[in-house]
Chain A
Amino acid sequence: MRNDVFKPSTLLFLGALAVFAIVVTIMAGQGMVSTSFVKTLGKTLCLCLAAIAMDVIWGYTGILSLGHMAFFGLGGYMIGMWLMYARTETLVAPGLAAQPLPPTEGEVRDAIGSQIFGVVGSSDFPMIWMFADSLVLQLALVVLVPSLLALVFGWLAFRSRVTGVYLSILTQAMTLALALYLFQNDSGLRGNNGLSGLQNIPGFEDVPQSTLSLSFFWASAFALAAGYLLFAWVVSGRMGSVLRAIRDDEQRVRFLGYQVEHYKLFAFVLTAAVTGIAGALYYPQAGIINPAEIAPIASIYLAVWVAIGGRGRLYGAAIGAAVVSLLSSWFTGGAAPNIALGDYAIRWTDWWLVLLGVSFVCVTLFAPKGIGGLVDLLQRRLPVDRTGDFGPDKGSKRAEETAQ
Chain B
Amino acid sequence: MRAFLIAFLCCVLSPVMAAAQDLQTVLQRYAEEVESPGRQTVGVVIDDLLAAELPTAPAFLGYWQDRQIVRNQDDGLFYRAGEREGETLELIDLDSGEVAMAVPTASVTEVRPNGGVRRELGAALVRFQLADPDPAVRRSALASIARSPDPDQIAPLDASIADEPDAAIRDEKVRLRNILAARFGDTPEIRVEAIRNLGGSIAPISRAALAQILSTTEVVTQGDPDGNVARLLDVGRDLTRVEAYARLVDAGLVPPRVSDTDIRNALIANIAEGTVGGWAVTELDTVAARRAAYVALEAEGVVPPFITEEEIEAALSDHTIALVYNEDDPAITQAAEQTLAGIDRRVAASNGADLAIDAVSLASIYFLAAIGLAITFGVMGVINMAHGEFIMIGAYTGYVVQQYVPDYTLSLIIALPLAFVVAAAAGVALERLVIRHLYHRPLETLLATFGISIALQQLAKNIFGTQARPLTAPGWLDGQWVMNEIIGVSYIRVAIFVLALLFLGLLLFILNRTRLGLEVRAVTQNPGMAASMGIDPDKINMATFALGSGIAGIAGVAIGLYGQVTSEMGANYIVQSFMTVVVGGVGNVWGTLAGAGLIGMLQKGIESFNPSNTLAAQTFMILFIIIFIQFRPRGIVALKGRAAGD
Which residues of A come within 8 Å of B, CB atoms? 64, 100-106, 153, 156-157, 159-162, 164-166, 168-170, 172-174, 176-177, 180-181, 183-184, 296, 300, 303-304, 307, 350-354, 356-361, 364-365, 368, 392, 396-399, 401-404
Contact = CB atoms under 8 A, between A and B. Distances in A.
Interface of B: 260, 264, 267-268, 271, 281-282, 284-287, 290, 381, 383, 434, 437-444, 446-448, 450-459, 461-462, 575, 578-579, 582, 613, 615-616, 618-619, 622-623, 625-627, 629-631, 633, 645
B626 A102 contact: no
B454 A353 contact: yes
Contact of A166 (B271, B286, B454, B633): B633
Contact of A169 (B281, B383, B615, B623): B383
B579 A173 contact: yes
B442 A398 contact: yes
B447 A180 contact: no
Contacts of B381: 398, 402
A392 B626 CA distance: 28
Contacts of B452: 357, 361
Q: Which 7 A-B pairs have the closest CB atoms?
A: A357-B455, A403-B645, A360-B451, A353-B458, A177-B622, A102-B285, A364-B448
Contacts of A173: 575, 578-579, 622, 625-626
Contacts of A161: 633
Nearest to A347: B462
B613 A184 contact: yes
A169 B630 CA distance: 14
Q: Is the interface of B mostly helix, strand, loop or mixed?
A: helix
A398 B383 CA distance: 12
A398 B633 CA distance: 18
Contacts of B439: 398
Contacts of A351: 458, 462
Contact of B629 (A64, A160, A184): A160
Given A398-B381, A403-B645, 19 more contacts: A104-B287, A160-B629, A160-B633, A165-B446, A168-B446, A169-B582, A173-B578, A173-B579, A174-B626, A180-B615, A181-B619, A307-B447, A350-B458, A354-B454, A356-B451, A357-B451, A359-B451, A365-B448, A398-B441
A101 B633 contact: no
Given A166-B582, A172-B575, A361 B451 contact: yes
B448 A165 contact: no
25 contacts: A64-B443, A64-B446, A101-B264, A101-B268, A105-B286, A160-B630, A164-B443, A172-B575, A174-B622, A176-B575, A177-B623, A181-B616, A300-B450, A351-B462, A352-B458, A353-B454, A356-B451, A357-B452, A357-B454, A361-B451, A365-B448, A396-B441, A398-B442, A401-B443, A402-B381
B578 A172 contact: yes
Contact of B448 (A168, A296, A360): A360
Given A304-B450, A354-B455, A296 B442 contact: no
A296 B615 contact: no
A100 B271 contact: yes
A162 B645 CA distance: 12
B461 A350 contact: yes
A303 B385 CA distance: 14
A75 B421 CA distance: 47
Contacts, number: 167
Nearest to A291: B615
A170 B448 contact: no
Contacts of A184: 613, 615-616, 619
B572 to A, nearest CB: 11
Contact of B442 (A106, A170, A402): A402
Nearest to A394: B440
Contacts of B260: 106
A99 to B, nearest CB: 8
Given A172-B575, A172-B578, A365-B437, A165 B451 contact: no
Contacts of A359: 451
A303 B284 CA distance: 57
Given A177-B622, A402-B645, A360 B281 contact: no
A105 to B, nearest CB: 8
B287 A356 contact: no
A93 B150 CA distance: 62
Contacts of B383: 165, 168-169
A176 B622 contact: yes
A314 B494 CA distance: 54
A183 B614 CA distance: 11
Contact of B447 (A100, A105, A364, A398): A364
Contacts of A156: 626-627, 630
Contacts of B286: 104-105
Nearest to A364: B448
Contacts of B443: 64, 164-165, 168, 396, 401
Contacts of B630: 156-157, 159-160
Contacts of A361: 434, 448, 451-452, 455
A172 to B, nearest CB: 7
Nearest to B635: A166
A111 to B, nearest CB: 13
Nearest to A361: B451
A356 B284 contact: no
B522 to A, nearest CB: 17
A153 B629 CA distance: 12
Given A101-B267, A172-B578, A180-B619, A304 B613 contact: no
Contacts of A396: 440-441, 443-444
A311 to B, nearest CB: 10
A354 B271 CA distance: 71
Nearest to A365: B437
Contact of B285 (A103, A153, A356): A103
A357 B453 contact: yes
Contacts of A304: 447, 450-451
B529 to A, nearest CB: 14
Nearest to A184: B615
A379 B452 CA distance: 32
A180 B616 CA distance: 7
A153 B622 CA distance: 13
B13 to A, nearest CB: 76
Nearest to B616: A184
B1 to A, nearest CB: 76
A164 to B, nearest CB: 7
Nearest to B276: A101
Nearest to B281: A101
Contacts of B450: 300, 304, 360
Given A168-B443, A356-B451, A101 B619 contact: no
A177 B579 CA distance: 12
A354 B645 contact: no
Given A100-B271, A104-B285, A364 B442 contact: no
Nearest to A362: B451
B282 A102 contact: yes
A403 B642 CA distance: 9
Contact of A162 (B285, B448, B629): B629
Contacts of A364: 438, 444, 447-448, 451
